[in-house]
């Protein structure tokens, strides 16, 4: 199965970047405290400063540290995550490319939430639900029909491209489960805002996968700053 994945590209700055962006207001500059055989760390004073900034929502110093990721996810996930407007986004365009599309199929089909207009709970076993109107699969399940549909869509797309249909139109046959990919860059505070929102238990599971992976990557890059921003989420 095609996996949802966020991978690290690069980053700029460190916890010290955040500290010095704040201390410049007073004409001051801090340095890391070196440890023999170990990583550079912030002083206790600077650590407390970062935590103070996060707690009291003085976020501008966190804007001086950046990270960049490559994300691969289905279209329906991308269309939720692109709403985080303070993060820079450049996505592959099927106006220009006609490479073989990949489709996301979940391991588990979740049930509709009983008390919410959106959201999910429990599990639905599609293998046990018959598809009475399927002509090619007698006594088949909805899951089998979905597999057939994805195959038909792929064959249709291939044929349209082969016959010279422009990719910008041929893409119209592709479903929301089609995988897309993008470069995602932004400041520390912008990514923290995204993760604090998307890691909540009532958000869609597939978007949580992306946020969880980015969260895991950010922790060692900015241990003090990232920890402070995630601890002081209002939600």
127-156 pLDDT tens trace = 776 665 555 555 567 788 888 899 999 999
- Residue 42 has a pLDDT of 93
Residues 84 and 137 in one domain: no
Q: Summarize pLDDT for 170-220 with one digit per residue, the tens.
A: 999 999 999 999 999 999 999 999 999 999 988 999 999 999 999 999 999
- The domain boundary residue, chosen from 146, 173, 200: 173
100 in a structural domain:
no
How many distinct structural domains can be found in the chain? Answer: 2
What is the average pLDDT value for the chain, to the nearest integer?
90
Residues 9, 87 share a domain:
yes
pLDDT for the residue 163: 97
Let me know whether 163 and 195 are in one domain.
Answer: no
Residue 111 binned pLDDT confidence (cut-offs 50, 70, 90)? confident
Which residues form the domain of 151?
109-173
Do 192 and 216 fall into the same domain?
A: yes
pLDDT of amino acid 82? 97
Which pLDDT does position 167 carry in this prediction? 97
Q: In the prediction, which pLDDT does 38 show? A: 60
Between residues 125 and 80, the one the model is more confident about: 80
CATH number of the domain at 72, please.
3.30.1360.170
Q: Which of 45, 94, 162, 198 is catalytic?
A: 198
Residue 183 within any structural domain of the chain: yes
198 is catalytic: yes
- Residues 17, 88 within the same domain: yes
Assigned domain for 101 exists: no
184 and 81 share one domain: yes
Residue 41 included in any domain: yes
Are 13 and 89 in the same domain? yes
Q: Which of 128, 148, 173 is the last residue of a domain?
A: 173
Q: pLDDT confidence of 17, banded at 50, 70, 90? A: very high
Q: How confident is the model at residue 45 (pLDDT cuts 50, 70, 90)?
A: very high
Please indicate, yes or no, if residue 214 is contained in any of the structural domains.
Answer: yes
Please give, one letter per residue, the 3-state secondary structure of the chain. CCCCEEEEEEEECCHHHHHHHHHHHHCCCCCCECCCCCCCECCHHHHHHHHHHHHCCCCHHHHHCEEEEEEEEEHHHHHHHCCCCCCEEEECCCCCCCCCCCECCCCCEEEECCCCCCCEEEEECHHHCECCCCCCCCCCEHHHHHHHHHHHHHHHHHHHHHCCCCHHHHHHHCCCCEEEEEEEEEEHHHHHHHHHHHCCCCCCHHHHHHHHHHHHHHHHHCHHHHHHHHHCCCC
* pTM for this model (two decimals): 0.89
Per-residue model confidence (pLDDT) at position 123: 77
How sure is the predictor about 125, in pLDDT bands with cuts at 50, 70 and 90?
A: confident
């Amino acid at each position: 199965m095609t996996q949802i994945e966020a991978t690290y590209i690069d980053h700029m700055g460190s916890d010290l970047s955040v500290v010095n962006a704040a201390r410049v207001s007073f004409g001051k500059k801090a340095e890391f405290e070196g440890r023999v055989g170990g990583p550079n760390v912030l002083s206790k004073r600077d650590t407390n400063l970062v935590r103070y900034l996060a707690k009291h929502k003085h976020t501008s110093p966190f804007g001086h540290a950046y990270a960049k990721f490559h994300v691969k996810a289905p279209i329906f996930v991308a269309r939720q995550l692109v709403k985080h407007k303070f993060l820079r986004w450049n996505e592959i365009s099927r106006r220009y490319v006609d490479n073989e599309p990949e489709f996301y199929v979940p391991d588990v089909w979740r049930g509709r939430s009983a008390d919410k207009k959106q959201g999910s709970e429990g599990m639905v076993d599609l293998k046990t639900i018959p598809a009475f109107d399927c002509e090619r699969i007698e006594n088949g399940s909805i899951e089998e029909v979905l597999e057939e549909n994805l195959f038909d869509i792929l064959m249709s797309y291939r044929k349209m491209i082969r016959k010279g249909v422009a990719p910008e139109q041929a893409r119209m046959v592709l479903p929301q489960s089609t995988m897309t990919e993008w470069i995602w860059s932004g400041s520390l505070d912008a990514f923290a805002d995204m993760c604090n929102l998307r890691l909540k238990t009532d958000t869609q599971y597939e978007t949580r996968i992306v946020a969880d992976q980015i969260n895991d990557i950010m922790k060692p890059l900015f241990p003090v700053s990232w920890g402070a921003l995630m601890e002081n989420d209002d939600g």
